[in-house]
Structure 1
């Protein structure tokens, strides 16, 4: 359910923005303007902008950390990859199987 909502929001960003702006404009148009309302709407819009900035920053940071994690996983498993390369160079299936078992047991 959560994933469906996320996909809907992701695919319909412009439509949701237009609806949100329309609702805000409707509410703003129906109120009597005084300094209290101006302060309220200013702080509300400023809060949304601040939260949006934090969200974008977190998303970019998460993507960068994911890239670094993938690189770390590859580097930490480099000996396994080298062993697999050596193993797959042999022609007999039984020797490949034995070598893979050795690699598995050596990592545990």
Structure 2
């Protein structure tokens, strides 16, 4: 869009320079009309041209804005909201829903016990469907201190849900994250930085250097 605005400015400048240049050229054929009338003619022609270009730019900006709004709306409609139905030392039962009642792809669930950096279990669930209860057995036969679910929506957003306790801090948050380390919280409090090492461990992103 910036390039289009620059081109529009160049056209105005060239048009403003072109009119007097054309009027100063020697006559190649006989024509009637005073210089003032020809200035009016070329000015009207240039004004019409600029009006068309301006309308095109306005329409392009509006279409781009509408497209971005629709894209963001679609992203939000795919974002999951997780619910833990039960959690004990043997299993976890959970489900999620989103506005489109669709799927989550590449879903992994993590269990952390006591010393979170060492005692970990991970299970790949693949594709899971909205509004359907998921039951996962815990091999360690011990109730996890913290669970995390990492997945991807159909619109391509990376999702991370964390629930539990770590270093005396509790958390129940859902994030979107990107490979560049940009984290956005869409459920739960925005103060997640005490969990940066856990988030970095799961996502592979060094959040300490990429807070925002």
- Please report the TM-score for the alignment, with normalisation by the length of structure 2: 0.32
Aligned to 1:70: 71
Q: Which residue of 2 aligns with 1:50?
A: 51
Query: How many residue pairs are counted as aligned between the two chains?
Result: 89
Please give the alpha-carbon distance, in whole angstroms, between the structure 2 residues aligned to 1:15 and 1:50: 15
The alpha carbon displacement at 1:45 in A equals 1.8
Distance 2:109 2:36 in 1: 80
Partner of 1:28: 23
Larger Rg: 2
Q: Does 1:88 align with 2:108?
A: yes
Pairwise CA distance, 1:73: 1.0
Higher helix share: 1
RMSD: 3.7
Q: 1:39 to 1:19 in 2, by over 3 A?
A: closer
Normalising to structure 1: TM-score of the pair? 0.54
Structure 1: gaps spanning 5 or more residues: 1-8
Distance in 2 separating the partners of 1:73 and 1:61: 18
Distance in 1 separating the partners of 2:40 and 2:19 = 15
- Deviation string 1:7-54 (CA, Å, 9 cap, x unpaired) is xx75x736666555444432122266152x233212112102211320
Structure 1 ranges of 4+ moved more than 3 A: 12-25, 82-85
| SS across alignment from 1:89 | strand
Structure 1 or 2: larger strand share?
Answer: 2
Change (3 A) 1:55 1:67: same
